[in-house]
A and B are shown apart, each in its own frame.
Chain A
Amino acid sequence: MSDIGYYAEKAMGAARDYGQSEVYVSEAVINTVYIDDSKISNIETKLDSGLMVRIADGGRQGKASVTLNGDSSVGECMSMAESVLRYSPESTEFKGYAQPGQARIAMPDVWDRRVEDITPEDLREMAKTLIDSCPVNIPRAQIRVSTNDCRVMNGNGVDCSHRSTLVYGHFTSMTVGEHPGEGMETYHGTHLDIDLRAIGESLARQADAAASSHEFKGSEKLSMILPPGQLGDMTNSSVVAAVNGENVKYGRSLWKDSVGQQVASDQFTVVDDPTVRAPLSCVFDDEGTPTERRTIIEDGVLRSFLRDSFCGDSTGNGMRRSSVEAQGAYERTPVIKALNVTVKPGRYTPEQIIEQTDRGIFVERFAWPEADEMTGRFGLNVRCGYIIRNGEVVDTINNALLMGNMLEAVRNIEMIGNDPRQMGVVTVPTMSFSGTELVGN
């Protein structure tokens, strides 16, 4: 293991002469077990460490990153950054790197020593637990656990370190036979409290349901019920994109002029909450700006955007780290990310939401849950969904397109569930929305 403090200070010493300077060093140890066809196919151990230097002289900026593989790496990185700076045109948008600030929240609980101490044998045991819990085949799965250490320093006096652990799992399941059904689960967290037995059981249930599904024919307007596994990415690609300060700055957000206005149903309250266990929860962001619990939408009224130092008046959302992958944080230029965007839960169980829906579809699984980041539009292939009539599931379907617009859907919320779950940088419960359309063959 290298010493990130040593490299950060050495690089900062070299960069300090420039008008503006910043160094970011990250180091990760990543252990992964892969399962193919319900057998352990490989186990890997990765060490990853690197450095990014950003320097600026007036409006000109130089930026470079290198993998840390010895003392010469710092000199190589500085030399590349200086070379870029020499050629850089003047920027009128550059406002300088982060200013130092006092911590506004306590350190969230994002370190699990068990991750640091994990062995190949532990990974094998975890894989076996999953395999034994899932009565159908697991064609592909992985469990990845990582430690992540990083430090950011800049010429304005910022000097922040962060340590966290990351536990990520991606799992698929499949029944055999003429019409196989498939299931999928993901896990995002910071601690080794992943319930592999529950995941195995869910994978089997999903695959069995998909196996009994049939192709949807015709078209109809109906309500859409999305569980957290599908709603997380849908929320991130629509609501979170619409409050992204860079999209606002460049006019790419439909909510750019909507602060103080009703943009969603009054049931809809959203906060960015880095104070609790979540993959990107932290006291300072990856530029060194203090983070805080921030209300974004309150009772449907837009209150705030998320910003980094490039956008100015940073809210502490300038991030290099990823919520799923510890490798390569040092390579990434900070971009605005949600730290832990959380939708306030409602009072309904998923079963109650179904019972109170006259005509709807509960989507077990889309091909890929995603809305258009600018417009909120979506047209998504339903891999497995339950058709609801008068509060009861009457059919299980596949291969249809569900169409709508997420920025409209949040205005048309029918019910919000009481089952929030963390999906990457978003924590959401099951929710139902009116105004979508299902089209089949």
Chain B
Amino acid sequence: MMQAVLTRAEQAQDILHNAVDRMQDLGAEFSDARSQTVRVTGVSSMNGDIRQLVQKSTGGVCLRAWAGGRWGYGTATSFDRDAVMRAAEQAVRNASGERKSDLVLEPATVREHRRADVRIHPDSVDLSEKIAAAQDLDRAQAVDDRIINRIGSYSEEVKTNALVNSAGSDLSWEEVRTLCRAMSVAADGQRMERYYDGPDSTLGFEVVRDADLEELGRVTAREAIETLKADRAPSGNLTVISDPMVSGLLAHEAMGHASEGDEITKRRSFLTDAVGRRVASDIITMYDNGTVRGAHGSVPFDDEGTPSSCTTIIDHGVYTGYMHSLETASQLGMRPTGNGRAENYGKRVWVRMTNTYFGPGEWDRDEIIADTKEGILCDKMVNGMEDPVGGCFEAKCLRGFLIRNGEIVKPLQSFTLTGRSVDILSSADALSKEVVLDGGMCGKGIEDWVRVSSGGPYMRARMIVGGGQ
């Protein structure tokens, strides 16, 4: 099956060259053509029954023409030469109109063909083993009658990309993502709580074979039951120890989105003109790094063909830089950083994050807890929201623990964190040595979901806390 897909990709490469030539002939100042096939296998087992078992294969070609300072896009789902040429012509028509600027894009010329760096390619694994993984995760959660809902899920995505542009780039690359997850819902009378856990990656099926699925399912269920005892979180401006997941949410929402180059060129970010300014305490260093091996947001190239890279965003508390696409890099006279990403062949390219995280500190987690007189320890995130204009953020936490006199005294229900990003990061006074990345999906505005990860160490800082009722 893999051989057939690559063959189709190779055939598509020739059509892509012709499409780029066509767009240039029609007046594009720069153009690129990107084909993509995505194969997904998804399994979920719920309460002992298979709820979802599906294989999907999607694909198409995206043509982009740059003229007069604006983009025109054309998309075809057929790899047929005529359909692609029609989409190429449409892209140039869409780019035409009143001239917006004389901006010249300066892409690097890259010629490279890469397979995914995985130990066990999911294509080499029988579907029955993937189904069994989801069922094992489901079964392992059956530890108590109060678990009313057990979900074990497995999913894989194999994405094959090819890109040709008018600067002479000729690329193809494969991305593989594998993840499994356990989620338990516990109920006790009118109380209901949930908990989840599971690995995600740009690795292969080794992620599943290396995991202790039995332990993962059992612990997830027990934590859901434990959360039934949780109280409402206190409210106010409090000392909070964010876990790596919530630290990552802070990195992503509070500083990451505001460091995307398009927000800077529009002056929509509170970090516009902030390079060289102190924005955090000196223990804080933050990166966006698309090259972390195995991390969920890693990509060899972005969707414009720029090799991914590591951008230092904060260096010991001082703001150092932005992430860029081809367009924003040219607008600001910088180098593209490999952050021009699209959800799929049918979506626009924007400046997007990859793996965004804070660097480590010098404490152990337990030392930070023991050193905290009164505060809250976060445990897992629900979701978050950026505020690049106002410089604030919102992070919803799945649950937490109340700390008094250096000890965890009780679990807390879901709560929300907010505050001004610079105030929060400036108040950070302890980071753990341990840094963990957690994978997820990131939307920009309200859609355009791309795979990312975010993370960091356990971090102690002051934030506004509010718990729902």
Q: Which residues of A contact B (CB under 8 A)?
A: 30, 34, 36-37, 39-50, 61-70, 76-77, 80-81, 83-84, 87-89, 91-93, 120, 124, 137, 139-140, 170, 172, 174, 176, 180-182, 186, 219, 250-252, 254, 324-325, 327-328, 331, 333, 367-368, 371-372, 374-375, 377-381, 383, 398-405, 408, 435, 437, 439-441
Q: Assuming A66-B56, A381-B416, is B73 touching A43 (CB within 8 A)?
A: yes
14 pairs from A and B in contact (CB 8 Å cutoff): A44-B71, A44-B75, A44-B94, A45-B87, A45-B90, A63-B55, A93-B51, A137-B266, A182-B389, A250-B47, A379-B466, A401-B465, A403-B469, A404-B468
Closest Cβ–Cβ distance, residue A257 to chain B (whole Å): 11
Inside 8 A of B383's CB, which chain A residues have their CB?
Answer: 368
A372 and B80 contact, CB distance less than 8 A: no
Interface centre among A34, A39, A367 (most CB of B within 10 A): A367
**At the interface, yes or no: B396 with Cβ under 8 Å from chain A?**
yes
State in angstroms the CA–CA spacing of A41 and B98 once bound together: 11
Q: Complex: how many Å from CA A331 to CA B59?
A: 12
- Tell me which residues across on chain B come within 8 A of A140, comparing CB atoms: 266, 268, 445
- Cβ B266 vs Cβ A91 within 8 A: no
Q: Which chain A residues lie closer than 8 Å to B419 at the CB level?
A: 399, 441
Residue pairs across A and B with CB atoms within 8 Å: the count is 247
Stretch from B18-26, B105-113, B187-195 that touches the partner? B187-195
Given contacts A251-B187, A324-B447, A399-B420, contact A377 B469 (CB under 8 A): yes
Residues of chain A lying within 8 A (CB to CB) of residue B266 = 36-37, 137, 139-140
Q: Is B58 an interface residue (CB 8 A)?
A: yes
CA distance A53 to B268 in the complex (A): 45
Nearest A residue (CB) for B64: A42
B356 at the interface (CB under 8 A from A): no
Which B residues from 138 to 152 make CB contacts under 8 A with A? 148-149
B100 with A401: CB separation less than 8 A: no
Q: Which of B55, B58, B396 contacts A84 (CB 8 A)?
A: B55
B468→A378 contact, CB < 8 A? yes
Write out the residue numbers on chain B whose beta carbons fall within 8 Å of the beta carbon of A402: 466
Q: Which B residues are in CB contact (< 8 Å) with A375? A: 192, 414, 468
Query: With a CB–CB cut-off of 8 A, which chain A residues contact B131?
Result: 87-89
The 3 closest A-B pairs by CB, nearest first: A377-B468, A44-B73, A401-B466
**Which chain B residue has the least Cβ–Cβ distance from A54?**
B54
* Chain B residues with CB under 8 A of A378: 468
Contacts of A181 in B (CB 8 A): 389
Contact A170 B418 (CB under 8 A): no
Q: How far is the CA of A215 from the CA of B263 in the complex (A)?
A: 23
Confirm or deny: B407 has a beta carbon within 8 angstroms of a beta carbon on chain A: no
Query: B49 — which chain A residues lie within 8 A by C-beta?
Result: 91-93
With contacts A45-B90, A50-B77 taken as known, whether A380 is within 8 angstroms of B267 at the C-beta atoms is no
Known: A34-B348, A43-B73, A381-B385. A403 touches B235 (CB 8 A): yes
Asked if A379 meets B467 with Cβ closer than 8 Å, knowing A43-B94, A437-B235, the reply is yes
| Residues of B close to A377: CB separation below 8 A | 413-414, 467-469
A331 and B55 contact, Cβ closer than 8 Å, known pairs A42-B348, A69-B77, A174-B268: no
For A48, A181, A439, the residue with the greatest tally of chain B CB atoms inside 10 Å of its CB is A439
Q: Is the CB of A120 within 8 A of B94?
A: yes
Do A42 and B73 touch across chains, with their CB atoms under 8 A apart?
yes
Least Cβ–Cβ distance between B19 and chain A, in angstroms: 15
Docked Cα-Cα span, A377 to B396, in Å, equals 11
Is B199's beta carbon under 8 Å from chain A?
no
Chain A residues, CB < 8 A from B87:
45, 47
A41 to chain B, nearest CB (A): 6
The interface residues of chain B lying within 8 Å CB-to-CB of A170 are 445-446
Q: List chain B residues, Cβ under 8 A from A67.
A: 57-60, 77
Q: Closest CB of chain B to A272's CB: distance in Å?
A: 23
| Whole-angstrom CA separation of A331 from B445 in the bound complex | 23
Partner of A331, one of B58, B78, B393, B414: B58
Q: How far is the CA of A170 from the CA of B445 in the complex (A)?
A: 9
Considering the complex, give the chain B residue whose CB is closest to the CB of A175: B389
Q: Which of B77, B97, B263 contacts A124 (CB 8 A)?
A: B97
Q: Known contacts A50-B77, A401-B464: does B95 contact A43 (CB below 8 Å)?
A: yes
Choose among A62, A87, A333 the residue that contacts B52 (Cβ–Cβ < 8 A). A333
Bound complex: CA A396 to CA B280 (Å): 28
Within 8 A of A (CB), among B26-56: 46-47, 49-56
| Choice from A88, A367, A371, A379 contacting B50 with Cβ under 8 Å | A88
Query: Closest residue of chain A to B385, judged by CB?
Result: A367
Interface flag for B275 (CB, 8 Å)? no
Q: Are A83 and B127 in contact (CB under 8 A)?
A: yes
**Complex Cα gap A176–B383 (Å):** 29
The CA-CA distance from A172 to B266 in the complex, in Å, is 12
> CB distance A180 to B75 under 8 Å?
no
Which residues of chain B from 150 to 199 have any CB-CB distance to chain A below 8 Å in the complex?
A: 185, 187, 190, 192, 194
Q: Tell me, rounded to whole Å, the shortest Cβ–Cβ distance linking A149 to chain B.
A: 14
Residues of B within 8 A of A45 (CB): 73-75, 87, 90-91, 94
Q: Which residue of A lies closest to B39 (CB)?
A: A80
Per a CB cutoff under 8 Å, which of B54, B96, B126, B185 touches A63?
Answer: B54
Residues of A within 8 A of B405 (CB): none
Q: Could you say which residues of chain A place their CB within 8 Å of the CB of B465?
A: 401, 439
In the complex the two chains form, what is the Cα distance from A379 to B469 in whole Å? 9
The answer to whether B75 touches A46, judged by C-beta atoms less than 8 angstroms apart, is yes
